[in-house]
Structures are given as C-alpha cells and as structure tokens.
Structure 1
Amino acid sequence: MKILFLGQLIGKQSIAFVKEHLASLKAEHQIDCTIAVADAVTGGYGLGKNHAFYLRKLGIDLLLGGEAMLSKRDLVEELAQIHFVLRPANFTGIGNFGYGMRHLHTPKNQQLNIINVMGMMGFHRVHASNPYQLVNKILDNPKHPSPFTLVAFSAIASAEKQTMAHMMAGKCSAIIGYGAKAITLDAQIIDETAYITDVGRISAPFSVAGFTPESEIERYTTQRPRKSEELISDEIELQAVVITLDDETGKATHLQPLRATYPLNVKAPANTSAESTTP
C-alpha cells in the first residue's frame, strides 16, 4: 500500500495545486490513498463545506485537521454526515460534531484505519484530552481491525509528536505529525512504523507559512490584530510524504519526503466561506 500524505493546504493556491498537479503526482508514485491536512484552506484558517467537497472531488480521499477544524459553521453543522473529514478524536465537549477516526478501502480492497488526534500544549481556542491514552486504547481494541493503521498527530511541540512515535512504534503503520507548517528532516522508520515530526504545508514559496511577509511583520511588530493575507504566486511549494506499507503485514517499509516547487497555471477558486483571521 502506498499513501500520499499532503502537508497543510494553505488558502486558494493549495486548491489550485491539487487541481493541476494531484492526479499526475498520484500516478507518478502509484498512490492507493491520499490524505491531506485541510484546516487552513478557507481564508487561511479552517475548512468550509464547499471547499471540502471540491477537494474530495479532485481526488483527496480524506481531509483532516487540528485546532481550526471546527471553525467554519457550514461544515460543522453537517460533519456527522460528512465521512471524509476528520476532526481530532480527542476534542472535548463537542457532542456529535463529526468523526475523529475513519477507515478507508483502497482500490486493492485493503482497509486503512486513520486516527486523528491533537496535542495538549500551546492551543488556546480548544482543549483536547490526553491523546496518548486515547490512541493506546483505540489500538488495543480496534472496532475495525486491520494491519494498516495511520495516526495523524497535530501538535505545536515536537516533543509531543516524538513521544507519540516512541510510545506507539511497532503498534501502528505510521505516525505523521503536522501543524507546524514546515516539513522536518527526520523521516524515518522506527520499529517498522513510519514517522515524521511534521509533514509541512503546501503554499507559495518564500512566504510566511503561506502568507505575505508584510502582513505578518506588521502583526508581530505592532502586536495588533491583523488579518493574514495569502501570498499569491505563480509557483507553489509541495511538502508531503509517501508512505509505503507491506501489503501483507501493514508494516512500514519506506517513507519518502517530497519537497518541490511547481508552476501554477490554473486560477484558484474563490473562497466559499466566511473569511477568518489566523490566530
């Protein structure tokens, strides 16, 4: 099994990348399943319903995210019926707002289980329960047993993600960290489990996490609220990983980081949900 895990999609440009380049990228790497971090697509913060369905139509099998995943009302109101979007499984006090786990079936009729969790440090808008206890409990008693299990972990602190890697190594197929918007250079196999601390982002190169340097400089130097502005460019930087799992055992055999700049020749669609200010 080969899984393409795309870094955090930032704004309109990332949608244009998916539209123009995803199909060829999947063909090049013979991908069976595509997952993307999508909680910064709409207005640079959150995921609107229309964008979610459009990305699904373009070939992404599962969209997931962390702190900002419940920031767009139009999506949240229907999350219980939208099975291809995952919020963190360890969100507290959210009632029936969607799912934190999902299993997908690949064209080879293999079942891939995905668990999405977030860390406990540095988040101010939402609070999460202990992700380590939850993941351990799920892996010990899976509802839909499969040798193919991926844990996606949104966290600000690298130590939280590294701790998860060492705790769960050998118990799942892959642990993919995200949330820092910069791909790390530690892609590795730990006890037959693929691991990277952060899968990065997909946005304009030479930006500040996908946004214009001018807007971010003003925000940080004046300490006044200011809407972050997406940097629009005719190029976009891909940060992602390709995970290769043994077809029989589900154990990781290879983890390939992807980092490359692509031209953009299509116009990105306009935002379809209310604009938001990044934190």
Structure 2
Amino acid sequence: MRILFVGDVVGRAGRTAVSELLPGMIRDWALDLVILNGENAAGGFGITEAIYQEFVDAGVDAVTLGNHAWDQREALVFIDRAPRLVRPANYPKGTPGRGSALVDTRNGKRALVINAIGRVFMTPFDDPFVVINDQLESCPLRSAADAIVVDFHCEASSEKQGIGHFCDGRASLVVGTHTHVPSADHQILPGGTAYMTDAGMTGDYDSIIGMQKEEPLRRFTTGIPSGRFEPALGAATLCGVAVETDDVTGLALRIAPVRSGGRLEPTLPRFWAG
C-alpha cells in the first residue's frame, strides 16, 4: 500500500498548497491512502466543515486533529457527521467525535487511522500509551486492518519516540505532528513500523511555525501580547512522509520525507519516481 501523510496544514497558504499539489501526487504516485493533519487549517486555529470538505475533495482519506481541535466551535457539532475527521483518542470520555477511523483505501483495502495527543509540556489528557494500545488490540494489523497509521500530536520528541517504539511491529506508520518542523529521522524501526518524529507543517516557512513573524517576535522580545497570531501568507511548502507497506504483513517496506513547493529544499520519494 502506498501511503502519504501530510503534516499540519496552516492557514490559507497551507490549504492552497494542498489543493494545488496533492491531486497530482495522488495521480503520479498512485497513492492508496492520504492522511492529513488539519488542526491549524482555519486561520491557524482549528478546522471548519467547509475546509474539511475541501480536503476530502482534494483526495484526503482522513483528517487528524490535535490540541486546536475545538478552536472553531462548529467542529464540536459537525465532527459527528464527518466520518473521516479524527480527533485525539485520549480526550476525555464523552468528547464529541472519534479517536480512530477505519477507512477504505483506493486499492480496495482498509486502513485504521489513530490520532492521539501527548502529555509532556501539554494538557495532560488520558494516558496515550494505554489508549493507543487499546486501539491496536481492538483492530490489529493484518487480521482487522491492512494498514495502521498513528498520528501522535505531541511537543516532546522523546514522548514521540516512545510511542513509536511502543507501536513497533503493530502499526504501519507512527508519525509525529504539532511542532511544525520536519525532522530528519525517518526510518523503519526494528519491528517493521515506519517512523518520523515530526512530519513538519504544510505552510509558509518564512514565518514562526507558520505565523507572521511580527507578533511572535514582539512577544519574545517584550513579553507583551499586542495582537493576534495570524498565519503567514507566502508560498507554502507541503511537508509530509511517504510510506510503502507490504501487502501481506502491513508493515513498512520504504519510507521517505516529502517536501514540495515554497522555501524548503524539495525532496520526493525516489522509489515512486516514474
């Protein structure tokens, strides 16, 4: 199975990159499954139903969230009628929506998409290790799902690495989101799970984690907030990770970073070239 995970989409610039670049990637790479983190898609904070539908129309099979899941209050309502929208599974019991989704892929198989949020340097919700383990045991790789992708939305790289090794051999891909900077540690772990600490953001990198520089710099240098954070408006780089899995085991055969457009040096998966 050919899987593309797209890192946190920030504002209009990020959405434009998705609409312009993703359909061609799906076509040229014959992608079977596309997952995208959309928690910063609406002006940098949250997601709306219209934006969710925009991603689905572009070819996205599942949209994951994170700590900004409810910044747009309408998400609390429309998530229940958006079967491909997945919020962190370790949010408290009774939170609207779902923490995982079993989706049909383009090659006629089924993939489980799990979203969870970290606790180090973040709001300490339920234990992500326990919650992810429950998800993996209730829908195991091979017997119940042809592929499993875990989006771990987390601040600390150590906690992300912990989740990666915890899931090794039980998931096709564990990928970190939230910090908006692509890491250079894409690898296949000893048990066969593809891993990357952070997929990076899909947004304008002439910015401070996707936001126009002036207000963050003002706060850093004076400690005084004087306005809202606004998404940067320049050309965005679509960042993510590409994985190919074995049809028999569901584990990873290949992994490569993806960067296209904008300011960052481009890199594309050579194993899908041509």
Return the TM-score normalized by structure 2: 0.90
- Aligned identity (percent) is 27
Counterpart for residue 49 of structure 1: 49
Contact 2:202–2:239 under 8 Å retained in 1? yes
Describe the SS at the equivalent of 1:73. coil
Counterpart for residue 128 of structure 2: 131
Contact 1:80–1:96 under 8 Å retained in 2? no
Distance 1:262 1:29, change over 3 A: farther
Contact 1:245–1:253 under 8 Å retained in 2? yes
Describe the SS at the equivalent of 1:208. coil
Counterpart for residue 275 of structure 1: none
CA distance in 1, matches of 2:139, 2:233: 43
Instruction: Please state how far the C-alpha of 1:260 moved relative to its aligned partner.
Output: 3.0
CA distance in 2, matches of 1:245, 1:91: 29
- Using CA pairs under 8 Å that are at least 6 residues apart, name the structure with larger relative contact order, 1 or 2: 1
1:67-123 CA-partner distances (Å, limit 9, x unpaired) = 111221112112122111111000015x25001110111122111011111111222
Contact 2:204–2:262 under 8 Å retained in 1? no
Describe the SS at the equivalent of 1:99. coil
CA distance in 1, matches of 2:162, 2:106: 33
Letter in 2 for 1:70: W
Aligned ranges for residues 1-279 of structure 1 at < 5 Å?
1-93=1-93, 95-124=94-123, 127-142=124-139, 145-190=144-189, 191-225=191-225, 226-233=227-234, 235-262=235-262
CA distance in 2, matches of 1:241, 1:212: 25
Structure 1: give runs of 5+ residues left out of the alignment: 264-279
Letter in 1 for 2:29: H
CA distance in 2, matches of 1:168, 1:20: 33
Describe the SS at the equivalent of 2:108. coil
CA RMSD in angstroms, aligned pairs only:
1.7
CA distance in 2, matches of 1:14, 1:177: 18
Q: Which range is displaced more, 136-145 or 213-222?
A: 136-145
Contact 2:39–2:68 under 8 Å retained in 1? yes
Instruction: Please state how far the C-alpha of 1:232 moved relative to its aligned partner.
Output: 1.5
Structure 2: give runs of 5+ residues left out of the alignment: 264-274
Contact 2:109–2:146 under 8 Å retained in 1? no
Describe the SS at the equivalent of 1:103. strand
Instruction: Please state how far the C-alpha of 1:206 moved relative to its aligned partner.
Output: 2.1
CA distance in 2, matches of 1:12, 1:6: 15
Letter in 2 for 1:194: A
Letter in 2 for 1:211: M
Provide the aligned length of Structure 1 versus Structure 2. Answer: 259
Return the TM-score normalized by structure 1: 0.88
CA distance in 1, matches of 2:12, 2:138: 40
